[in-house]
């Protein structure tokens, strides 16, 4: 039955999430995941044809709801654009530098030199997010809040600036958690630069 299949698929994802978190992508095995799930490897491969695809599904299913909620904050409206961007930026930085998301990002980067996992992950997650952000910035251009530059370029600059003060945490395993004050101040400085150039 479909309900049973969906429940089984979710159980596999839950178990795989634990295994990847414990061992990392490279050392995790489909045999270990299958043993913990209970059942044959053949059944596991019926749901997920490869370890790479399973990892990608784990990453997306784990974080998609949170990222969608953050993207909803970036809705160009009658509110001042800077206020909208500030709220969006703070929520985004807190999410992408949360321990769980940061761990996934490190795994994806580590695997990017060995397989297509990094690019596949980009296409199914970050790229889609960038396209939604670009659409909102295009709306800001249409409302004459921003200068008429390619939305994809503005998106790249915006995201890079918002993350710029914390990027070293990607390689700093024991960095202390970010405080709300740190994030708010860093996003404000990023917007000083972004809006200093792009404001209409």
Please tell me the class of the 1-49 domain: mainly alpha
What is the three-class DSSP state of 146? strand
Average pLDDT over residues 156-177: 89
* 18-62 tens-digit pLDDT: 898 888 777 899 999 999 998 888 889 999 988 888 888 887 777
Please tell me the class of the 64-198 domain: mainly alpha
Whether residue 155 has pLDDT greater than 90? yes
* 109-134 tens-digit pLDDT: 777 777 777 777 777 778 888 999 99
Strand partners, 146: 199
The whole-number pLDDT of residue 4 equals 60
How deeply is 103 buried, as exposed, middle or buried, from its count of CB atoms within 10 A (0-12, 13-18, 19+)?
Answer: middle
Average pLDDT over residues 103-113: 75
pTM of the model: 0.77
The whole-number pLDDT of residue 1 equals 43
| Range list for CATH 1.10.10.60 in the chain | 1-49
Q: Which of 156, 155, 161, 148 is nearest to 200 (CA)?
A: 148
| Range list for CATH 1.10.357.10 in the chain | 64-198
């Amino acid at each position: 039955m479909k309900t049973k299949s969906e429940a089984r698929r979710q159980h596999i994802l839950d178990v795989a999430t634990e295994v990847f978190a414990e061992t990392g992508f490279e050392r995790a095995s489909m045999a270990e995941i299958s043993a913990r799930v209970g059942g044959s490897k053949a059944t596991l491969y019926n749901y997920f044809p490869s370890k790479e695809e399973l990892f990608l599904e784990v990453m997306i299913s784990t974080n998609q709801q949170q990222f969608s909620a953050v993207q909803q904050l970036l809705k160009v409206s009658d509110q001042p654009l800077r206020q909208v961007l500030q709220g969006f930026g703070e929520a985004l930085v807190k999410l992408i530098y949360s321990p769980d998301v940061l761990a996934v990002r490190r795994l994806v980067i580590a695997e990017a030199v060995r397989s297509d996992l990094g690019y596949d992950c980009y296409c199914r997650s970050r790229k889609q997010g960038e396209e939604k952000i670009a659409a909102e910035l295009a709306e800001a251009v249409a409302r004459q809040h921003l200068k008429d530059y390619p939305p994809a370029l503005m998106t790249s600059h915006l995201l890079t600036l918002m993350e710029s003060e914390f990027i070293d945490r990607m390689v700093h395993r024991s960095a202390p958690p970010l405080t709300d004050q740190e994030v708010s101040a860093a996003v404000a400085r990023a917007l000083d630069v972004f809006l200093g150039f792009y404001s209409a």
